Amino acid sequence: MSADAEAGTVVERRDESGAEVEPLVAIRNLSKYYVRGDQVIPVLVDIDLDVAEGDFVALMGPSGSGKTTLLNLIAGIDKPSAGEIRIAGVDITQLSDADLALWRSANVGFIFQFYNLMPVLSAFGNVELPLQLTSLSRRERRDRVETALALVGLSDRATHLPNELSGGQQQRVAIARALITDPAIIVADEPTGDLDRTTAEEILGLLERLNRELEKTIIMVTHDPKAAEKAHRLVHLEKGVLVH
Amino acid sequence: MFVPLLVLRNAFRHKLRTTLTVVGIVVAIVAFGMLRTIVDAWYAGANASSSARLVTRSSVSLVFPLPLSYAPKIRQVDGVTGVAWANWFGGIYVNERNFFAQFAISPSYLAMYPEFVLSDDERRAFVADRSGAIAGRKLAEKYGWKVGDQIPLRGTIFPGTWTFNLRGIYDGAEEGTDTSTFFFHYAFLNESIKQKLGGRGDQAGLYIEQLAHPDEAAAVSAAIDAMFRNSLAETLTETEKAFQLGFVAMSEAILLAIQAVSFVVIVIIMAVMANTMAMTARERYAEYATFKALGFSNGFVALLIFAESLGIALFGGLLGVALTFPAAETFAKTVGSILPAFKVSTDTIVLQVAAALVIGVVAAAIPAWRAARVRIVEGLRAIG
């Protein structure tokens, strides 16, 4: 076992026959830095991290530690300076922008701190949005959206615009949108950061349920220790380095 | 349905901003259409002129008349099948603001202008009445004249008050035919001049020749002018179109200015629209970033901006085209006698729609390019 593995960031898993099981997310030697003039600013330094299928990982660390950058890289919305990110066997660092967009639409569900719903679309329209990129018929899309809205308890709010919903309801719409394509991973960036404690508990309960009942792999960035308690595993970052 | 719905809802997110932008486009497109129509109207006389007619005038200036004795000589020139003559009258109807063209014409004049449609009864009544006159439909409608009315004109070139009996109202054979001119008998004018002014009689302001073959225009023109070379009243003969264009050329600088202003109006609204679209796109960077994060392409984001811009520009453009017609009608009623053929042409409509399309495309180009290029992580940071 490597030092990283001992720290719990790289984990060897084997199936019943003893064969090694590839983790859903396998990150190796990942670095990200920005160049400003002649200055190189490191954001992530030589990160190794595995996330198994069905895991619920919380990324924690102080502001500027690189946790959101790491999440963005895993989600395929940012490009690393070096290293490899394999997700379900695909090295996403090698994909072109167009291929990466296609990959994201099929494999990643996003939950943002400020929900990022389209203000002109109803809850239904927002949840349906990722399905517009698929070849599903209108009826199939409608069935899926209704199921997702029911799952997050918002069937009666389908026709409401985001500004007609509370923060918690908007985040539940965002969760339904993240689920709708049945993605391999769900990435959540401070999903309770804009919510009061009670609503945050509801949202965390919903994420926990998705992980437990639907076996969704969730990677969540949070500052909130209470939110982190819901995760199976905590990964701490400090100044771009995994500390334990 | 998804994209049109999204574009439509986005376009009306800021109702006041969109409304003001549409109003700006409407005003610009109407102004563009009106200015183009003014230019068209200026050229209308030349465009409506016949290629089978020549005009002969004094080679010195149009203000110098030619002797009436030229008429039979011109008629003898090979290729000329008819000759008519006319004098500009320049009278004032009630007051100076009521400007319209008035010509004293020879008996053969109307036969050479089949585009002026007059009923047989009215034609006979006009011919039979020495102080009879005919007026174009537009002119008669403007002043509420009816057949049988007496029309008084105060002469400016030929002093005194001249009263004419309106014996007919002519229509135009084609839509662009000028129906705002007043015609009366040359004989009436000539006899009165002889009585009142003596030496100013038996003179024609210009001659009009009917050609047997339009392609002989150059040769016939040269033959007529050669006939009167070295006389006391040398002539200048040209096609009717060239004659009309000579008037247009006098105001060419104004026409160029009008044309330039018509395009400046479009450039200004283009800049306003581009500013609107730039603001709109900047406000929505987080949304565009979210679209891209969800898997939508850069092209999709650009499409949303282009479609919204084109939608607003076309909506304003088509509204502008529709409003150009009543605006032109009102304008024509006001200045109908000065620009008699004031009609919005198909070319102008096409140009207006094309201008609206160009406004939409140009206004969206930079915002769409920027939004398509914005990195997802940067766009997501634009929120809150």
Q: Which of B2, B10, B293 sits opposite A77 (nearest CB)?
A: B293
CB B205, CB B65: distance < 8 Å: yes
Q: In the predicted model, what is the mean pLDDT of residues B343-363?
A: 94
Q: Is the pLDDT of residue B227 over 80?
A: yes
Residue A2 has pLDDT above 60, yes or no: no
Q: Do A120 and B384 touch (CB under 8 A)?
A: no
Query: What residue numbers bound the domain in which A210 lies?
Result: 3-242
pLDDT higher than 60, residue B383: no
Cβ atoms of A25 and A86 closer than 8 Å:
yes
If we measure between CA atoms, which residue out of B233, B189, B18, B228 comes closest to residue B89? B189
Is B94's pLDDT higher than 50? yes
Kindly report the CATH number assigned to the domain that includes residue A193: 3.40.50.300
Dihedral angle sign, alpha carbons of residues A157, A160, A166, A170: positive
Nearest residue in A to B381, CA atom = A114
Query: Is B78 buried (19+), middle (13-18) or exposed (0-12) by CB count in 10 A?
Result: exposed
Residue A211: C-alpha distances to residues A22, A76, A231, B61, B83 (Å):
19, 21, 9, 97, 101
B118 and B126 Cβ atoms separated by less than 8 Å: yes
Residue among A69, A78, A116 whose CB faces B290 most closely? A116
- CA-based end-to-end distance of chain B: 30
d(CA A44, CA B197): 106
CA distance B351 to chain A (A): 34
Radius of gyration of chain B (CA): 29
Per-residue pLDDT of B268-288, as tens digits, reads 999 999 999 999 999 999 999
Number of domains in chain A: 1
In a 13 Å sphere around the CA of B230, the CA atoms on its Cβ side amount to: 1
* A120 with B9: Cβ contact below 8 A: yes
pLDDT digit string, tens, across residues A5-22: 334 566 666 666 766 667
Interchain CB distance below 8 Å, B295 and A118: no
% residues pLDDT > 90 (chain B): 73
Q: What is the pLDDT of residue B251?
A: 77
Pull the structure tokens for residue B226. 């050669």
> Which amino acid, one-letter code, is at B252?
E
CA B149/CA B121 separation, integer angstroms: 16
Lowest mean pLDDT among A26-30, B42-46, B314-318, B347-351: B42-46
Digit-coded pLDDT (tens) for B311-346:
999 999 999 999 999 999 888 877 756 676 778 999
Average pLDDT, rounded, for chain A:
90
CB B204 within 8 A of CB B87: yes
CA terminus-to-terminus distance, chain A: 15
Closest CA to B286 of A75, A219, A34, A117: A117
Q: For chain B, give every domain's residue range.
A: 2-45+252-381, 60-233
Distance CA(A78)–CA(A189), nearest Å, equals 14
Please state the rounded mean pLDDT for residues A65-90: 95
The DSSP 8-state label assigned to residue A12 in this structure reads -
- Of the candidates A69, A102, A120, the beta carbon closest to that of B295 is on A102
Closest CA to A4 of A44, A51, A47, A66: A47
ipTM of the prediction greater than 0.95, yes or no: no
Question: Which residues are bridge partners to A185 per DSSP?
Answer: A108, A217
> Is residue B296 within 8 angstroms of chain A, CB to CB?
yes
